[in-house]
Amino acid sequence: MAERGRQLNLAVGAGIAAAAVVLALTLGTLGAVAWRAEFAARLGPSDWAAVRFTLLQATLSALISVTLAIPVARALARRRFAGRGVLITLLGAPFILPVIVAVLGLLAVFGRAGLLSQFLGWFGFPPFRIYGLHGVVLAHVFFNLPLATRLLLQGWLEIPAERFRLAASLGFSARDVGRELERPMLREVLPGAFVVIFVICTTSFAVVLALGGGPRATTVELAIYQAFRFDFDLGRAALLALVQFAIGAAAAGLALWVQVPQATGGGLDRVAERPEAAGMGHRIADAAWIGLAAAFLLLPLGMIVLRGAPALFSLPPAVQAAALRSVVVALSSAVLVLALALPLAFAVWHLRGRRLAGWLEALGYLSVAASPLVMGTGLFILLYPVADPVALALPVTVVVNAAMSLPFALRALVPAVARVEGRFGPLADSLGMRGLARLRHLHLPRLRRPIGFSAGLAAALSMGDLGVIALFADPEQATLPLQLYRLMAAYRMEDAAGAGLLLLILAVTLFWMFDRGGRVNADT
Amino acid sequence: MLTLEGLTVRQDSFELRADFTLETGAMVAVIGPSGAGKSTLLSAIAGFIRPSAGRVLWQGQDLTPLPPGERPVTMIFQDNNLFPHLSAFDNVALGLCPSLKLASAERARVRGALARVGLAGLEERKPAALSGGQQSRVALARVLVRARPLLLLDEPFAALGPALREEMLDLVAELCRETGATLLMVSHDPRDAERITDRAVLVADGLAHVPVPTARLLADPPRALRDYLGGGARG
C-alpha cells in the first residue's frame, strides 16, 4: 500500500506542479502586471477607444461569420458533390494556418495591388482599401467563417434524418423545413458559435497589428504592444493588460453561460436526403454559396502558393535563420505542452470524483481567458530585475505558446486518459504495471493519437505565432512570423511571399508529422 | 487456503458479505442472479475494491493491504485481457515482468507457455490478428507464467461460442490441475459450472453463501437461484 500510495502521490504531485506552472503563467503574470500598474495612471481617451474598437470588431466579426455560415453550412448539409470531404477538411485548416500568412494571402486578393482592386480598376473604380476596421473584420471572418460553418454543419447533421423524411412525407416546402426543423436547431447552436468567435476575436493580435493600427483601429492587445514597445510605458501597458484580462474573463464567462458547441471533427460526411430542396433554384443557390465560400478560403491560400513559389528557393539568409529558430521554438513548445498536459491529465484521473480534480482541470483551461501579450508583459516585469528579457525572447515565446495550446491538449488528453485507464487500468494493476512500465507499455502506446494531435497542434500554433515574440525580440532573434511581418512592413513583398509560403509549409508539415505519427500502426 | 473473514463490500447502497474458506486446489463456481455481486466478490479478492470491513487471507497471510499486482492472484476479466498494441509474446511476458525486461530463461518460459496453450508460432501476432479463442489462450498462457496460486475468472469466455467455451474451460481445468491452482469462476451457465467445478458459491441477496457441492446446488437450487435459472432448467 505504501508503494502504491507513493506512486499515486507522484502522479498527483506532478499534476499539481504542472498546474502551478500554469497558474504562475496566467494569474502570476497578471499579478505582476497589477503590481506594476501605477494607480496614478488612468486610461486615456485613446485607451477607451481601443476598448470600444476591440468589442466592436469582435462583435462584427462574430456576427458576420455566423450569418454567412448559415447558408454555407445548409448547402454543405444537403448537397453531395465531388470534393465535399476535402472542402470540409479544409474548413478545419485555418486553425493551424499562421495568421500572418493568411493576412499576406488576403492582401494579395483584397489589398491595394490585389486581385479585387485590379478587377475594380478595369471598371474605373478606386482600389479596395483593406486597412482599418473592415480589413480586421475581413481577416477575422476569413479565419472564423470556416469554424462557424463546421459548428453549424454539425448542428444540421445532428437533426435526425428521419425528421427530414417525415417532413418530406408531409409535403413540407423548404420554408416549412426551415421553420420546423432548422430554426430550432439554429437557435441552439448560433449563440454558442457567436460567443466562441467573439472570444477568439477579442484576443486577436497579429491581424490587428498587420491590418489595423492608428487611432481608429487599435485593439487593447495592440495598445499593450505599442505602450510597451514604442513608449516603454510599463505602467500603462500593465493597466491595459488588466483591461484585456477583464475583457477575456468576461467573454469566457459568457462562453460558460451560453451552451458552447464542441467541434467533434468526425461524422461530418453524412448527407440527409432533402427532397424539399431538390428544386433548381435551391440547387443553384447552394452551389453559389459553396462556390463563394470555397473561393473566399482558397483564393488567398492559392495566391500565397502562387506568389511564394518563385521566391521559395532564394530566400534571404535572415529568413532561413528565422525559419530554423521557429522550428526549434515550435518543437520545444510541443514538448512543453505534453510535459504540462500529460501530468495534469493523469492527476485529474487519479483524483477523479474529488473537487481538486475539477480545480486542476479548470486551471488548465485558464489560459483561454488569458492573453499572450498580458503573459508576455508579466513575464517581462518578472524577468527584468534578474535577467535580460530580450535575451530570453525565444524561451519566453516557447513557454507562452505552450500555455496557449494547453487547453486544446487537455481537451484531447483528459478524456483519452480516462478511456485508457477505464479499459486497461485493471489489467495493468493486476500485472503490477506501475510508474515507467505503465507509462511505456500502457499510456504512451494507447495515447499515441491524442499525444500526436496535441503535439502537432501545439507545434503548428507556435510555428505561426506572432504575439509575444513581437514584444521582446530584436532583429537577431526574430522567428519566421516576425521576420515575415518585417518584410511586409518594409514592402519587400517578393521575399515576404516566399517566407509566407515557407511558414505555411512548415506549420502544416509539423502538424501533419505529429498527427500522422500518432495514427500510423496504431492498434486500436 | 483462501479465507474470507467477515468480508463486507459496500458500493453506494449495495452491500455484499462473505465469510467462508476454500482449501488450496479447490475448483469453485460463483453463481447467482445478475447484479447480485459475483464480479464484486472477485474484485474484492483481487484487490480492485477495498472492503469496508473484514479481511482476505491466503495461507494465513492478510492480503487486504496489498495492491492487486502484489496479491497471489491472477484474474481474467470479461474483456480487455490483452493490450492491443503488444504482441502475444509481450502480452504473456508482462505476466513475468511489468517492464518487459526478460532474461533468456524467462523468454523461454514465455514461449513454452504459449506452446502449452497451442499457440506455438503465433508469438509475434498482435491480438487483432488472433481469433477470439486464440486471444483467450494468450490470457491463459499468461496465467501459466504468472503461476499465482489463485485464479479468478470473471466470465472471460462469455463471448465465445458453446463449443469453444467448453474447450477453454477444459484447458483451464487442465492448467489448474497441473499447477495446483485454486479456481474461482463466475458463471452464467450451470452447465459450465458443472463441467469443471466441484463446489459452488451462491451469491444472492447481498451474501456470498458458504460453498456447497455444485451438483447439489444445481439439483436443488434455493429460491433466489431457482428464479434466476428459470423453472425449466432444473426440477
ipTM, two decimals: 0.87
Mean pLDDT of the B73-77 span: 93
Q: Verify whether the Cβ–Cβ distance A429 to B48 is below 8 Å.
A: yes
Q: Comparing B136 with A6, which gets the higher pLDDT?
A: B136
CA dihedral A461, A464, A470, A476 (to 10 degrees): 120
Question: What's the rounded Cα separation, in Å, for the pair B24 and B177?
Answer: 11
Q: Determine, for residues B83 and A432 on separate chains, whether the beta-carbon distance falls below 8 Å.
A: no
Res A3 pLDDT > 50? no
Distance from CA of B212 to the nearest CA of A (A): 29
Exposed / middle / buried, residue B136 (Cβ in 10 Å: 0-12, 13-18, 19+): buried
Residues of A in contact with B98 (CB under 8 A): 431-434, 437-438, 441
B20-32 average pLDDT score: 93
Which residue of B68, B83, B94 is in closest CB contact with A429? B68
pLDDT digits (tens, 9 = 90+) for B77-133: 998 899 999 999 999 999 999 999 999 999 999 999 999 999 999 999 999 999 999
3-state DSSP call for residue B30? strand
- Describe the crossing of helices A45-78 and A234-257 by its angle, rounded to 10 degrees: 30
Alpha helices in A111-257 (DSSP H): 115-122, 133-157, 161-169, 174-177, 183-202, 206-211, 220-229, 234-257
Predicted confidence band at A119 (pLDDT cuts at 50, 70, 90)?
A: confident
User: Cell match 505565432: residue?
Assistant: A465
Nearest residue on chain A to B151, judged by CA atoms?
A430
Report pLDDT for A248: 83
Query: How many Cα atoms occupy the beta-carbon half-sphere of B111 within 13 Å?
Result: 9
Which residues in chain B (83-122) have CB-CB distances under 8 A to chain A?
83-86, 90, 94-95, 98-100
Would you call B99 and A440 a contact, using CB atoms and an 8 Å cutoff?
yes
A524 interfacial to chain B (CB closer than 8 Å): yes
Closest CA to A468 of A407, A395, A386: A395
Which pLDDT value is given to residue B228?
81
Residue B183: inside a domain: no
Same fold, A1-36+315-524 and A43-308: yes
The one-letter amino acid at A170: L
Residues 6+ apart with CB under 8 A from A316: A495
Contact A445 B70 (CB under 8 A): no
* Whether pLDDT at B223 is above 90: no
* pLDDT attached to residue A523: 60
- Tell me the DSSP string of A129-165: P-SSHHHHHHHHHHHHHHHHHHHHHHHHHTS-HHHHH
Domain for residue B35, yes or no? no
pLDDT tens track for A96-117: 899 999 999 999 999 888 888 8
Q: Please name the helix (run of DSSP H) or strand (run of DSSP E) that holds residue A64, with its range, or none.
A: helix A45-78
- Measured N-to-C along each axis, helices A133-157 and A45-78 cross at an angle, to the nearest 10 degrees, of 40
Note whether residue B202 is domain-resident: no
Cα separation, A132 vs A218, whole angstroms:
9
Distance from first CA to last CA of chain A, Å, rounded?
32
List of chain A residues whose C-beta atoms are within 8 Å of the C-beta of residue B152: none
pLDDT at B58: 95
DSSP class per residue in B90-149: HHHHTTT-TT----HHHHHHHHHHHHHTT-TT-TT--GGGS-HHHHHHHHHHHHHHH--S
Q: Tell me whether residue A57 is exposed, middle or buried, using C-beta atoms within 10 angstroms of its C-beta: 0 to 12, 13 to 18, 19 or more.
A: buried
Specify the pairing of strand B53-58 against strand B61-62: antiparallel
Question: What is the count of structural domains for chain B?
Answer: 1
Mean pLDDT to the nearest integer, A507-517:
92
Cell of A355: 473537487
Tell me which of A350, A419, A424, A427 to substitute to probe the interface with B (most B C-beta atoms closer than 10 Å): A427
Chain B residues closer than 8 Å to A440 by CB: 99
Q: What integer pLDDT is reported at residue A127 of this predicted model?
A: 78
- Domain holding B92, by residue range, is 82-147
Asked if A433 lies within 8 A of B69 by C-beta distance, the reply is yes
Q: Which pLDDT score is estimated for A2?
A: 43
Alpha-carbon torsion (B125, B127, B131, B133), positive or negative: positive
Burial class (CB in 10 A: 0-12, 13-18, 19+), A492: middle
Q: What percent of chain A has pLDDT over 70?
A: 94
Cβ neighbours, 10 Å, residue B206: 13
* pLDDT value at residue A80: 85
CB A480 within 8 Å of CB A506: yes
Closest CA to B68 of A432, A9, A436: A432
B213 located within any domain: no
Reduced to 3 states (helix: H, G, I; strand: E, B; else coil), residue A477 is helix
What's the predicted TM-score (pTM) here? 0.84
Model confidence pLDDT, tens digit, residues A247-278: 888 887 787 777 666 655 555 666 767 777 77
Partner residues linked to B153 by β-bridges: B76, B185
Q: Domain map of chain A by residue range? A: 1-36+315-524, 43-308
Please tell me the distance from the alpha carbon of residue A60 to that of residue A141, in angstroms, as a whole number: 9
Using an 8 Å CB-CB cutoff, list chain A residues near B68.
Answer: 426, 429-430, 432
Using a CB-CB cut-off of 8 Å, the residues of chain A touching B66 are 1
pLDDT tens digits, one per residue of A172-229: 888 888 888 899 899 888 988 998 899 889 988 999 999 987 778 999 999 989 988 8
Q: What are the residues whose beta carbons fall under 8 Å from the beta carbon of A20, sequence distance 6 or more?
A: none
| Contact between residue A442 and residue B83 where contact means Cβ atoms under 8 Å apart | yes
Please tell me the predicted confidence (pLDDT) of residue B234. Answer: 43
What does the pLDDT look like over A358-379, one tens digit per residue? 888 888 877 777 788 888 888 8
**Matching CATH number, A1-36+315-524, of 2.60.40.10, 3.40.718.10, 1.10.1670.10, 1.10.3720.10:** 1.10.3720.10
Give the span between the Cα atoms of B194 and B216, in whole angstroms: 10
A434 and B CB contact within 8 Å = yes
Q: Is A1 on the interface with B (CB under 8 A)?
A: yes
> What is the assigned CATH class of domain A43-308?
mainly alpha
Nearest CA in chain A to B45: A430
Closest CB to B80 among A423, A431, A432: A423
Average pLDDT over chain A, rounded to an integer: 87
Within 13 A of A494's CA, how many CA atoms are on the CB side? 6
Cα separation, A413 vs A404, in Å, equals 15
Percent of chain B at pLDDT above 70?
98
